[in-house]
Amino acid sequence: MNEQEKIYQVIASIPKGRLCSYGEVAKLAGLPGRARWVGRTLSQLPSDSRLPWFRVISAQGKISFPAHSAAYQRQLALLIAEGSAEPSGKIHWRQYRWPS
């Protein structure tokens, strides 16, 4: 399994209603300190992917896209759909715990 697949696996395991930061995903995938790598990997994600990429946010509890951008609104809408955010943009960060 390559690094990209590990990252996909971790993200795929995040339950609906739970969120995880890029840094946490990296750590859980066995790639500590490589949050940027996770971000880059997601940026390369095919548009038709089923991966819940929108459950990954920054460590500051915010969406990592410029506010008002189309990408930002797309992610916010998906989070609102599962109760992880409000239309106002406020995020309800229910931290995902990796099964230990």
Partner DNA sequence: CTCCTGACTCCAC
Partner DNA sequence: TGTGGAGCCAGGA
Interface with DNA (CB under 7 A), residue total 25
Q: Which tokens belong to 19?
A: 């969120």
92 exposure class (CB count in 10 Å sphere: 0-12, 13-18, 19+): middle
Segment holding 21, helix H or strand E: strand 20-21
Token duo for residue 73: 């609104």
Distance of closest approach, residue 98 Cβ to DNA, in angstroms: 15
Closest to DNA by CB, 10 or 24: 24
Site for DNA contains 93 (CB under 7 A): no
Whose CA is closest to 7, among 91, 15, 23?
Answer: 23
Q: Does 14 bind DNA (CB under 7 A)?
A: no
**For residue 8, what is the enclosing H or E element?**
helix 3-12
The residues in 32-91 that bind DNA, with binding defined as CB under 7 A, are 33-40, 42-43, 45, 53-54, 56, 58-60, 64-65, 71, 75
DSSP state of 15: P
Instruction: Compare residues 8 and 53 and give the one whose CB is closer to DNA.
Output: 53
- Footprint of DNA (CB under 7 A): 21-24, 33-40, 42-43, 45, 53-54, 56, 58-60, 64-65, 71, 75
